[in-house]
Amino acid sequence: MDIGFIGLGNMGAHMARRLIEAGHRVIVYDTRQEAIGNLAAKGAVAARSPQEVADMAELVMASLPTPDIVLKVATGPEGVIEGKKVRRFVDLSTTGAVMAQRIFKTLAERAIVQIDAPVSGGVVGAEKGTVAVMASGPRADVEAVEPALRVIGKFFYIGEKPGAGQTMKLCNNVLSAAGMAATSESILMGVKAGLDPQVMLDVINASSGRSTATEQKFPQVVVPRKFNQGFTAGLMLKDVNLFLSEAKALGLSSSVIEAVAAIFKLTCDELGPDKDMTQIVQPLEQRAGVEIRAPEA
């Protein structure tokens, strides 16, 4: 199958590589020439614009950082919408349901079906092909691209409604964000009181408080002070704010998630939005006067 792939960042490069290794002819584009070259060296076909990708493949996928960039790539000048061959556009990014519905309607005017299929599982999941793929759109069109999506990760069909996959992704990501924020405050309190953070994590992971934050992020990324989870604080704040926007539109209150957003905003304001999302512990550590790290031997 000929597959176009736009966006070769931390996640996209791995997903495109997996498609190449599965035997697909993959046409790639990114704003960074180095990223294109890395995939071309593995057998991908290089393109000069999203439109050129869409000129060469009926199926075009995108993995991009923000809703505005997805909108521009999909519907802007020299975008996917102007491609001669494209029939289906699969958005693996996180844009929120409102943007997904907007792009769906715009592409439909050119007989292009948009399928929103955001993924979750981090860089390691993208590398190993274990991310959760949350697809929504017309069932027949989703079924047509399902074999390719199964190369990327574990496939879930969320529903026919455009944007349903995006809503599912936001519901997942705010739980990840909340777990990271709550674990930061919990472990920090224990460390301030004199507890060993690794012992705390061992106990929590054998108890009811465990989460991906306690099982993976803290023992592997925070305690050893690596801060290399591979997902930025700015992107997590974007996802949390998208959730809050959709919840508000549905008439829901989200006081817990609003508090989580405040912690991620603090991180972005003080450290910068490009910092790793696990670094939300650092502004809290500064205020507490202690760090979450293994005690000296």
Residue 296 inside a domain? The answer is no
CATH (domain of 257): 1.10.1040.10
SS3 label, residue 64? coil
Q: What domain range includes position 283?
A: 167-288
Share of the chain above pLDDT 90, in %: 97
Neighbours of 41 (CB within 10 A): 8
Mean residue pLDDT across the chain: 96
Determine whether 192 is an active site residue: no
- Distance CA(244)–CA(240), nearest Å, equals 6
Tokens at 45, concatenated: 């076909």
Average pLDDT for 47-59? 98
Clarify whether residues 177 and 37 are in a common domain. Answer: no
Clarify whether residues 131 and 189 are in a common domain. Answer: no
Clarify whether residues 15 and 155 are in a common domain. Answer: yes
Neighbours of 264 (CB within 10 A): 24
CATH (domain of 30): 3.40.50.720
pLDDT at 297 over 80: no
Clarify whether residues 10 and 151 are in a common domain. Answer: yes
Note whether 268 and 280 are within 8 A (CB): no
Residue 294 inside a domain? The answer is no
Choosing from 169, 238, 248, 265, the catalytic residue is 169
Q: Give the number of domains in the chain.
A: 2
Average pLDDT for 150-167? 97
Clarify whether residues 153 and 208 are in a common domain. Answer: no
pLDDT at 88 over 90: yes
Would you state the pLDDT for residue 107? 98
Residue 295 inside a domain? The answer is no
**Residues in the chain, overall count:** 297
Which one of 111, 143, 161 terminates a domain?
161
Clarify whether residues 141 and 268 are in a common domain. Answer: no
Clarify whether residues 130 and 209 are in a common domain. Answer: no
Clarify whether residues 246 and 203 are in a common domain. Answer: yes
Would you state the pLDDT for residue 296? 75
Q: Which amino acid is residue 187, in one-letter code?
A: I
Clarify whether residues 155 and 260 are in a common domain. Answer: no
Band (pLDDT 50/70/90 cuts) for residue 245 is: very high
Residue 212 inside a domain? The answer is yes
Instruction: Give the global pTM.
Output: 0.92
Which residues are 61's β-sheet partners?
A: 5, 90
Note whether 144 and 113 are within 8 A (CB): no
Average pLDDT for 203-226? 97
Residue 227 inside a domain? The answer is yes
